[in-house]
Amino acid sequence: MGQIKYQLPAEEILAPGHFACPGCGGTLAMRYALKALGRKTILVIPACCWTVIDGPVPFSAAGVPVFHTAFETAASAASGLKAGLEMQGDHETTVVAFAGDGGTFDIGFQALSGAAERNEDFIYICYDNEAYMNTGIQRSSATPFGAWTTTTPSESPKAENKKNIIEILAAHRIPYLATTSVAYPDDMIAKIQKAKEIRGMRFIHVFSPCPPGWKFEPEDSIKISRMAIKSKVFPLLEIFDGVDYRLSHEPAGTPVRDYLKMQGRFRHLKEKQIEEIQKTIDEEWERLKSKLVSSKRTRQSNGGPLAKERNLFHVKRGEALRKE
């Protein structure tokens, strides 16, 4: 077996020379996403780091057409683009909304919810760096409990837990939901490729560390991202149809302390608060586990993967729509 190696699609669509900070997780997310999606892709980018990263006019790093749109409109713009392509008879091009956590969890939320409810046929990728980073590190509803941001200073760090966007979207019963991380490029590419094969609304949640916003050295980006997975801070999941949960990676369950200690944004935390965070993580994990178990039971009692049939249904519905 030997060393872990990654077999990624060779084609590099993302160009160098983009404006991301050194060690940017969101940029790696884009690089892998483009590798998985291929050149027949249109990106819709609302206000977020990637608005800047893509480069100033007349330059663009993405290597595929990018439609820059307003903060709250990623999902609605993507819906419109997809509809437009369908009208032109282009059923091949994948439409991808690529948004930060602010544009997904907060400002773009109603558009996202609407698109999910309508089961629009595009992929929504949220690269989650857990705050409004390019505007100067303001807290978002994706910022975790206890974190420092410029609007939640260390004297009164964020007192609320991170919004569970995955559960909210699962409640919309969209065909495919997945969480992934830039530290596991093979996992990320496999999930996006799987999403590409499915019709309807697909949501990919990418855990993307931000060196300046989280206050760590850029070289540790991958390490931190990996620690988040290992310590169960961020589970790697797939949810089919909003009900069928599957765990992609069984984490070792290292103490969350190791993960927190690596980041300046958690430096002010007291031992008691760290314990509290650990407790929350453990409870959340138990809850997730019960969902995984019941999903498995349902799959077994249905005599096969439930999701597979449902996906076919979505494909068929997509095709029917196209014929009309």
Q: List contacts with other proteins (CB under 8 A).
A: 1-6, 8, 12, 14-25, 27-28, 31, 54-55, 57-61, 63, 66, 185, 211, 217-223, 226
Residue 299 corresponds to which tokens in the numbers above? 């799959």
CA distance 56 to 150: 26
Spatial neighbors of 52 by CB under 8 A, at least 6 apart, are 19, 134
Nearer to other proteins, 5 or 270 (CB): 5
Q: For residues 137 and 163, is the Cβ–Cβ distance under 8 A?
A: no
Least Å from the CB of residue 67 to other proteins? 9
Nearer to other proteins among residue 20 and residue 178 (C-beta): 20
| Shortest Cβ 41–other proteins spacing (Å) | 15
Nearest distance from C-beta of residue 321 to other proteins, angstroms: 29
Q: Check: CB of residue 130 under 8 Å from CB of residue 152.
A: no
DSSP-assigned beta bridge partners for residue 97: 44, 124
- The three-point CA angle 129-130-135 to 5° equals 80
Shortest distance (Å) from residue 4 CB to other proteins: 5
Q: How far is the CB of 253 from other proteins (least distance, A)?
A: 16
Q: What are 120's two structure tokens? A: 């629009």
Distance CA 162, CA 140 (A): 9
Pick between residue 66 and residue 137 the one whose CB is nearest to other proteins.
66
Residue 26 or 146: the one with the smaller Cβ distance to other proteins is: 26
Nearer to other proteins, 103 or 211 (CB): 211
